[in-house]
């Protein structure tokens, strides 16, 4: 029994606490041993979650920038179409005037003549 009293048992909890209390150095960071510490292993799910959120944040920013670029392109396109519509409307108004219609009929030799009598309403 005397021999049993002399045997020292190493408590794994105490040993791991001593290991956790050691300061981390640049060497631990470079060679990767910092990742095997219990503190880091317990925080691993949180680190993975933060990495996931960072990826979503970066993707969201790229998507927002793409939407802004597309919006700018569409605004320029709308301005161009609006200018084209105004130009077309003014040309249509110009060529639909009576004097322009007569001129175009004479140029194309359609054989049409302008009526000299004013129009009148037919009453029932």
Per-residue model confidence as pLDDT tens digits over 26-40: 887 788 777 777 777
Would you say residue 11 has pLDDT above 60? no
Residue 97 domain-assigned (yes or no): yes
Residue 45 domain-assigned (yes or no): yes
Residue 2 domain-assigned (yes or no): no
Would you say residue 22 has pLDDT above 70? no
How large a percentage of the chain has pLDDT more than 70?
81
Would you say residue 124 has pLDDT above 60? yes
The boundaries of the domain holding residue 15 are 11-106
Residue 122 domain-assigned (yes or no): no
Q: What's the whole-number mean pLDDT along residues 38-51? A: 87
Residue 41 domain-assigned (yes or no): yes
- Rounded to 5 degrees, φ, ψ at 96 are -95, 0
Residue 124 domain-assigned (yes or no): no
Alpha-carbon distance of 51 to 55, in angstroms, equals 6
What's the pLDDT score for residue 4?
56
Residue 64 domain-assigned (yes or no): yes
- Domain count for the chain: 1
- Residue 117 or residue 2, greater confidence: 117
């Amino acid at each position: 029994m005397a021999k049993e009293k002399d045997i020292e048992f190493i408590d794994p909890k105490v040993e791991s606490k001593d290991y956790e209390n050691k300061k981390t150095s640049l060497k631990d960071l470079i060679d990767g041993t910092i990742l095997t510490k219990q503190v880091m292993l317990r925080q691993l799910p949180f680190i993975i979650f933060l990495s996931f959120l960072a990826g979503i944040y970066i993707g969201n920013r790229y998507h927002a920038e793409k939407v802004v670029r597309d919006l700018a392109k569409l605004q320029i396109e709308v301005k161009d179409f609006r200018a084209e519509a105004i130009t077309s409307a003014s040309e249509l108004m110009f060529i639909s005037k009576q004097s322009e219609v007569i001129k175009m009929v004479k140029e194309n030799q359609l054989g049409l003549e302008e009526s000299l009598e004013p129009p009148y309403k037919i009453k029932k």
